[in-house]
Amino acid sequence: MTSILKVDTIQDADGNNIINESGNTITIGASGDTTNIIGTLQNDGSALVTGKVLQVVSTANTSAITGNNTSFADSGFSVTITPSATSSKILILTQIAAFNDTTATSMYYSIYRGTTNLAGASGFVRTYNGGSNLGSSVAMNFLDSPSTTSATEYSVYVKVNAGIGYISVNDSTSTITALEIEG
């Protein structure tokens, strides 16, 4: 024996709508309600899980890198990650040990995917030394959607207004980390 129950709305004992159907859209609960799912929530038969870290790739550098270009140039400090799905997002985390000498009053930092500047013309961060030597810790973070499953390189690019700036001077450590986040 087969039974079919056809309804547009299911209410709780107090008359509150807990399940509604309208235009082929099912709404569970109301705005502000907490909905507990026991089991696996699926989308077309596949488990619906997002935001999971799938892989982590990291590089550390302790060798001094010199920056002396007045337009963004590749510092040679990079990390390569191969996303497992085109829907994945890549979270880039950098921590740069930076040094502006007296000639490089402004130093700019950016993250590039291949040859694409992810921050635009001014970069993510600028350090300014005010005419004297300045060491600083520069952090840059960016959530990218590369839409590829090919090996993808993320690099730190630098530029100076004049003179010379440095990354990882005096054996200080700089890091760049790429995390693949399930989309």
Q: 112: domain CATH number?
A: 2.60.120.1340
pLDDT at 115 over 80: yes
Please indicate, yes or no, if residue 37 is contained in any of the structural domains: no
For 174-182, what is the mean pLDDT?
Answer: 96
> Which amino acid, 147?
S
Residue carrying the six token digits 């730190």:
156
Please indicate, yes or no, if residue 111 is contained in any of the structural domains: yes
Please indicate, yes or no, if residue 133 is contained in any of the structural domains: yes
Please indicate, yes or no, if residue 148 is contained in any of the structural domains: yes
Q: What total of structural domains would you count in the chain?
A: 1
What is the per-residue pLDDT across 31-46, written as a single tens digit (0 to 9) for each?
Answer: 767 777 776 667 666 7
For 51-63, what is the mean pLDDT?
Answer: 93
Please tell me the number of Cα atoms within 13 Å of 153 on its side-chain side: 10
DSSP codes, 71-90: S-EEEEEEEEE--SSTT-EE
By C-alpha distance, which of 19, 43, 46 is closest to 30?
19
For 69-76, what is the mean pLDDT?
Answer: 94
Name beta bridge partners: 139: 95
Q: What tokens does 61 get?
A: 């550098």
Look up the domain containing 156 and give its range. 53-181
Please indicate, yes or no, if residue 139 is contained in any of the structural domains: yes
Predicted confidence band of residue 75 (pLDDT cuts 50, 70, 90)? very high
Predicted confidence band of residue 48 (pLDDT cuts 50, 70, 90)? low
Q: What is the dihedral of CA 143, 147, 153, 158, to 10 degrees?
A: -50
Q: Is 158 or 105 the better-scoring residue by pLDDT?
A: 158
Please indicate, yes or no, if residue 43 is contained in any of the structural domains: no
Please indicate, yes or no, if residue 154 is contained in any of the structural domains: yes
Name beta bridge partners: 171: none
pLDDT for the residue numbered 47: 67
Please indicate, yes or no, if residue 171 is contained in any of the structural domains: yes
Q: What is the mean pLDDT of the chain?
A: 88
- From CA 183, how far away is CA 180, in angstroms rounded? 9
What is the per-residue pLDDT across 139-162, written as a single tens digit (0 to 9) for each?
Answer: 999 999 999 999 999 999 999 988
pLDDT at 27 over 90: no
- From CA 47, how far away is CA 49, in angstroms rounded? 6
Does this model's pTM top 0.85? My answer is: no
